[in-house]
Structure formats: structure tokens, C-alpha cells
Amino acid sequence: MQTLTLAAGCFWCLDAVYRRTRGVTDVTSGYTGGEVEDPDYYSVCAGITGHAEALQVTFDESVVPAEVILGQFFTGHDPTSLNRQGNDVGTQYRSAMFYRDEDERARFAAAIEHAQELFDQPIVTTLEPLGTFYPAEEVHQDFYTRNPYNGYCTYIIDPKLARARAGFAEWMS
């Protein structure tokens, strides 16, 4: 099993995509990249902790290659938008990849370089060392499945899921 820690704006979006990807065994929404211990949703959203809304995705590489997980990351948000995704604005919504070691940092850098071919604007996704990852409150775990008719899910997540299914059909359930 391999675990990657990624931030792509609101964690609900990629959470929904990865939970529907074959070979993914666990997805945890949370916070990382900040200076405050034990942050909560409200302090992170207020932009006072330095954390990003992020997630940890654990997957079996014998079922789904890491390149698919990383491809979904880049197509699941706008990596050319600095510190915002749609109406969500602030460093807590930054596009970031949190690496555990230099090998993972190099893998992430190569993924950014590869993904840049898909975008006209420069990718602004940051590479940051992984510090402490704090799981988000239970209400944020698997939000889409538990709230499919929520307006955010209908207008923001549904189109992202449709793009993921179109681009990665053989990997999606």
C-alpha cells in the first residue's frame, strides 16, 4: 500500500473521486502544512493556521498505478489557480503535494512537469514537506456519499466526478 498526501482546494472533491477509484483502500480528509497544533475546520477556513485542506489517499499500486492517482489530482482541480478553487479563496485552498522523502518529492515534481502539458497557464502546485497530518472532523469524511443532494455536491463535486469518470473510466467504479 502507498499513501499520498495532496491538497486541491476543498477536500470533499478529491475525497469523492478517490473513494470511487478501484484500488483505493482509504481516504482521510484533514489538514496539514500549518503551524498550529490540532487545527479545526473553522480555524483552517479562517486562514489563521497556515494549514491546507488536504487528504491522504491510500491505494494498492498493484491495482491502480500512482500515475492514475496523480492524474486524478491534476484533473480534479485547477492547479494553475493560486490559493483558490472557484469561490474558495485563501492559502487553505492551495494546490499542494506534501512529500515524505526526496524520492516522493522527485516523483511529485515529475508529475507536475508531465501535467503541465495539459494546461496553458503555469501550474502553481507547491511541493511541501509533510509535517503532521490532522484528520478532519467526522462530518468531513466521505462528505459526498453522505450528502449527495447538498448544493456544493450537486454543483461542484458532480462535474468533477464526471470529469474523473471520463478521463479515468477504467479505474473508476
For the entire predicted model, the pTM comes to 0.96
Judge whether 85 and 10 are in contact, CB under 8 Å. yes
36 phi and psi, to 5 degrees?
-95, 135
Distance between CA 92 and CA 40 in Å, rounded? 12
Helices (H), the chain: 11-18, 41-45, 66-75, 102-115, 143-146, 151-152, 158-167
* CA distances, 65 to each of 20, 47, 51, 95, 154 (Å): 15, 34, 28, 21, 29
Per-residue pLDDT, 88: 87
Buried b vs exposed e over 100-134: b needs ≥16 C-beta within 10 Å?
A: eeeebbebbeebbeebbeeeeeebebbebebeebb
The single residue listed with the C-alpha cell 502507498 is 2
Residue 13 appears among annotated catalytic residues: no
Q: Are 155 and 149 in contact (CB under 8 A)?
A: no
Q: Helices 11-18 & 66-75, crossing angle to 10 degrees?
A: 140
Of 10, 13, 45, 153, the active-site residue reads: 10
Q: ∠ CA(49), CA(50), CA(51), 5° rounding?
A: 90
How many CA atoms are closer than 13 Å to the CA of 132, on its beta-carbon side? Answer: 11
- Tens-binned pLDDT, residue by residue, of the chain (173 aa): 999 999 999 999 999 999 999 999 999 999 999 999 999 999 999 999 999 999 999 999 999 999 999 999 999 999 999 999 988 899 999 999 999 999 999 999 999 999 999 999 999 999 999 999 999 999 999 999 999 999 999 999 999 999 999 999 999 98
